[in-house]
Amino acid sequence: MGSDALQTLSKGASFSPSTYSMWDSSCERSPSYKMEKILELLEKFLKSDNPYHIFITNCKVNNQKKGMLYTPVTSLWTDTITYLVSIPERVANKKKPEISSVFTLENYAHLLSENMIRTLCKICRNMQHNEDVNLEFLSRLLGRLCVAGYSDSILGQIIPQMLKFSSQDFIWRRVCCRLVVGVPGQCLEAVVTPVLLQLPWYGYVEWLLGENVISNEKLKFLLTTKLLLIRQFQQDSILNNILGYLAQVPSRQMIFLQTLLKLLDAWGAGSALRHRSYSQQFYLTRALMICTAHLGGLDFSLYKQELLTKLLHGVEIHIGSPDNSVRTLGMVVGENISKVLDPEGPKLVFEYEVTNDSKHLKSLLKLEENSLDITSWCDQRNVCVTKNVSSITRELKSCEITEEKVNSSDSQKDISEVLDSDDDLEPYDMSHDVVSKKQPLYIRDCLQGLINHDKPEWTEACLRTAQALIQTELEGESEVALELAKVLLHLENSYTIDDFVILRHQSLVAVLTKHPKEVALYLTDQFYDRNYNIRQRLDILEVLASASQELSKVHVQVTASDHQSFHSDVKHNTVWWKELVEKRIENKTRIISKGKKVEPQGKENKFADVAGYFFFPLLHFYDRKENTFDLLGEDCYVLGRLVYTLGVIMHSASNTTVAKQMGSALLEFIWVLRYHTEKFVREALLFALCMAVISVPSFILLDNNRTEIMELQCWLQDIVEQDPNLECRRRAGHVLALFANMVKEVSKEIPVSTC
């Protein structure tokens, strides 16, 4: 396979996916000598005319079939384009940093650009001789290259050439328009956006886009909505090019006026203004000022009243803003656009501070004229690109030498300055200075900071402020709550943040308490889902238990008090439920005294309406064979934690309407697992049974589960007498005492069992 690839490349044959796959596979299995030889031949292959032959071959149209145009198979195009786009990355993966200059991104983009320009020249000559051509292959290649990140390098060299030839030849304009607009829909934005950023005047946009904005809905949406209302750019060139292109000829002026109406709607939306950043609002204001510059030569009589109404509404919204910069934007727009919309009407005059932004806005009212010599501009751009690419190695070396000289001179200068400085001056004591850290102010910024892990300090700040932001800003944001729960559940401590586990747990609990139904359904579903480790499943159980207590306001020290050790959690559970049982027994004990009786005060249980979403989904699939973890087998520790969680949720739902069904279900669950061999699971079952007895009213529990209680009583007696574990025997004794008190409370006697 490797020798075939060598022979194919050495002969200079046409490049094909099979040839590249042979080269790729041979690199994987061959010794280093073969790999070096293949890379050398591939470099010669790319430096030769072979890329040009690939392009021109795929742009030809075969007329062998009469009356039909035959083009190559698109699947072959896809493979070829994929290999052409990915050559630098593939070579870098083989050779790491030791690669030839041909395979660097800039040089490789320059090589492809030169061959694409040669191909376009050949295509235009063929069209002049009435030969059919097909630009689909080149358009697909251009789109994929721009999506892959080559847009600035490729278009920076191609656009000057296209403008230079298009200024003299109408055929070139047709070819360039087909090339740019013919890219696949998913690549259109990646191609059109850098084109609009690089064109020096809006009059040239028509050469590359033609009238396609009228018929191409994707292009229309991109120009009139996404690039104006959704995205933002610092450069004015993209706004000038889009709006000037739309207002240039009568066939597109209707779209221009409709776009102006959308801009005014977005600019004057009160709710959006409160949540939009100043830079985005300033971007919309710049677009409105450029529209004003083009309105003078248009007939907008049909839209005059509607434009005035939207303008005055937007000005009123801006003037009412507490931000002085936003008020200034409204005043500048109101003064200038009203003069154009209603020259004979009353003038709007405001007093505002003249700033750089207001000066910049007023400068946009002057239309750009085509005073540019396109030929000299294109030649200058091409010289810069060629110089930057061909001399990159030499320039880097010269830069290194110059930098060394500058550094040495700077160091000498610094030394002389230090020697000449006043040594008598004492430095300030900065040991107590505190570095202020930025924190997110909005929940969506916090969410984005947790998703992106590029800045460790910002990620930590987002995690530390997440709980507070969730508690104050997550009302009515169920979609954001679900996204937050997902991100927090999968968040890892990549930067060893202090108290990471506690912070994440608190944030998850806060999300769950704000939107209990939606988030509880998500977490309980994920507990039995695949591709989760044991740690994450235990985290889900902890969060459900803590949130249920928070919602029910049961002030008991239970799980999550020590997130570093689950074993300590179990100890805490043991302590608090023992105290609870002893208090319950004490309350049922008759004490003769004359103390004043205090009536208990009722309290709303917010957990009542959502308790079922926490409880029942956890019972559904514990024995499902499709689970990626074995609750009934080797993962019995998770089973024990699950039982503890069910018990905590049961207690949080005390005296609620759903407690009856929850208690019955929990008794059945306990009965199935009562003879489990692991003592940890048996301890958890006794804890859950205790919670069921305490949480459900005695008469309801006895009326609906009399048989189960009798059987459980026999089981408890067996544990007290025969269980080898001391803790299990103690817990069973406590539950038996609760059973006895429950019988006395409802004045019904359960027959004594002879177990």
The predicted-structure confidence for 344-380, as pLDDT tens digits, reads as follows 888 888 888 899 999 999 999 988 777 667 777 777 7
Residues composing the chain: 755
* 510 contacts 446 by C-beta, under 8 angstroms: no
Tell me whether residue 683 is in a domain: yes
Tell me whether residue 391 is in a domain: no
Residues 205-259: pLDDT tens digits?
A: 999 999 999 999 999 999 999 999 999 999 999 999 999 999 999 999 999 999 9
Percent of the residues in the chain that have a pLDDT greater than 90, as a whole number: 35
Rounded-to-integer distance, Cα 702 and Cα 659, Å: 14
Residue 362, pLDDT score: 93
Total number of domains constituting the chain: 2
DSSP string, 713-752: HHHHHHHHHH-S-HHHHHHHHHHHHHHHHHHHHTT--PPP
Confidence of residue 7 (pLDDT cuts 50, 70, 90): very low
Rg of the Cα atoms in the chain = 37
DSSP string, 152-194: HHHHHHHHHHHHHHHTT-HHHHHHHHHHHHTS-GGGHHHHHHH
* 263 contacts 222 by C-beta, under 8 angstroms: no
Rounded-to-integer distance, Cα 550 and Cα 467, Å: 14
* 689 contacts 670 by C-beta, under 8 angstroms: yes
Residue 219, pLDDT score: 95
Tell me whether residue 751 is in a domain: yes
What integer is the mean pLDDT of 570-595?
53
More confident residue, 34 or 596: 34
What is the extent of the structural domain holding 674?
Answer: 579-586+607-755
More confident residue, 20 or 622: 622
Tell me whether residue 510 is in a domain: no
Residue 529, pLDDT score: 85
Rounded-to-integer distance, Cα 288 and Cα 678, Å: 73
51 Cβ contact list (under 8 Å, min separation 6): 15, 84, 111, 112, 115
More confident residue, 175 or 598: 175
Tell me whether residue 649 is in a domain: yes
Residues 618-668: pLDDT tens digits?
A: 888 776 766 667 787 777 888 889 999 999 999 999 888 898 899 889 988
pLDDT at 13 over 60: no
374-390 and 151-166 are packed helices; what angle lies between their axes, rounded to 10 degrees? Answer: 150
Residue 190, pLDDT score: 95
More confident residue, 593 or 624: 624
What integer is the mean pLDDT of 444-465?
86
Tell me whether residue 182 is in a domain: no
pLDDT at 159 over 90: yes
Tell me whether residue 289 is in a domain: no
pLDDT at 511 over 50: yes
pLDDT at 592 over 60: no
- Nearest one of 670, 677, 684, 674 to 727, comparing CA atoms: 684
Helix ranges, 60-148 (H): 74-95, 105-128, 136-145
What integer is the mean pLDDT of 286-303?
91
pLDDT at 105 over 80: yes
Residue 48, pLDDT score: 86
Rounded-to-integer distance, Cα 141 and Cα 120, Å: 13
Average pLDDT, the chain: 79
* 748 contacts 698 by C-beta, under 8 angstroms: no
Confidence of residue 586 (pLDDT cuts 50, 70, 90): low
Residue 220, pLDDT score: 95
**CATH number, position 660:** 1.25.10
Confidence of residue 120 (pLDDT cuts 50, 70, 90): very high
What integer is the mean pLDDT of 154-174?
91
Residues 59-75: pLDDT tens digits?
A: 876 544 444 444 455 67
Residues 179-211: pLDDT tens digits?
A: 999 999 999 999 999 999 999 889 999 999 999
* Burial class of residue 454, CB neighbours in 10 A (0-12, 13-18, 19+): exposed
Is residue 62 classed as helix, strand or coil in its secondary structure?
A: strand
Tell me whether residue 704 is in a domain: yes
